[in-house]
Amino acid sequence: MAHDGCRLAKGMSYKNAIAGLPLGGGKAVIRQPKSQFDRRALFEAFGRAVANLNGQYVTAEDVGTTPQEMALVRTHTVHVAGLPLEADGVGGDPSPWTARGIFLSMELAAHRGLHRPLSDCTIAIQGVGHVGVALAQMLHQAGAQLLVSDVNAAAAARVAIATGATVVGAAGILSAKADIFAPCALGGVIDEVAAGKLRAKVVCGAANNQLATTADGDRLAERDIHYAPDYVVNAGGIINVAAEYLGWPQADSNARVEATADRLADVFTHAETHGVAPHTAADQLARQRIANASLDAPDELAVAA
């Protein structure tokens, strides 16, 4: 768990850097008690823990939590975002913004890797939680053919009914006959075995830390599979969270999300120019931006969720 948390924190640092946000990166992990517990008390205790960090860490809604639970955290600290939606459109579940960035990035990746629009593609979505559902709806509206898989069979069935998707078992989604694979569940899904049996020619999804190791990104490149680095394409949620916390107008947040594919294009261009795989190109760009920000404005790099 600690290892995963550290990897996620690093990913958040790189994600914020590529997105041009004046934030560093961090990640909190709440260990769920094995016995029955008071969920309200748990999140209030978490709020007190965040408060003790005196603003060095800002938490937000993520996997396994809700805006309403972030409101419980808010009773003990101001250093929280992803709160229930306000009248001006700020706050709320950031999943739709994440899905929008994925969708735009997928359009670009399909054009570069497949030379055709999403309407002519079959897309395999692994995980139909908040982001996966929103992404499936967008892709369905764009005319794409969908394959979906989730450990929650009922969730997969609901998406299938709503979008006409075909439900695929968890064991078969990676090797399913699809043009694009969209990992939208938990991380580490692309390991040496998966990289070898993947049939899709594009990988673009919402999950964090999709590559089990950096070597797996090289394996995808060796097979001429176009990988859209996760923290580049899934930044829509943190952009919306940052706008909420920093007090930016929603229009500014929207514009940054809409530019997600432009940032992915920069990564692909860097990869081609320097002869490296896309995941390496993204890391290089992120590290350079962090270094530049540290030199130019060290006080602006707060630690963020």
* Residues designated catalytic: 27
d(CA 11, CA 218): 18
Q: How many residues does the chain have?
A: 305
Burial (CB count <10 Å: 0-12, 13-18, 19+), residue 171:
exposed
Buried b / exposed e over 89-122, threshold 16 CB at 10 Å, is ebbbbbbbbbbbbbbbbbbbbbeebbeeebeebb
Residue position matching structure tokens 């947040």: 253
Q: What's the CA gap between 38 and 21, in Å, rounded? A: 35
What residues contact 83, with CB distance under 8 A and at least 6 apart? 67, 70, 71, 74, 91, 92, 244
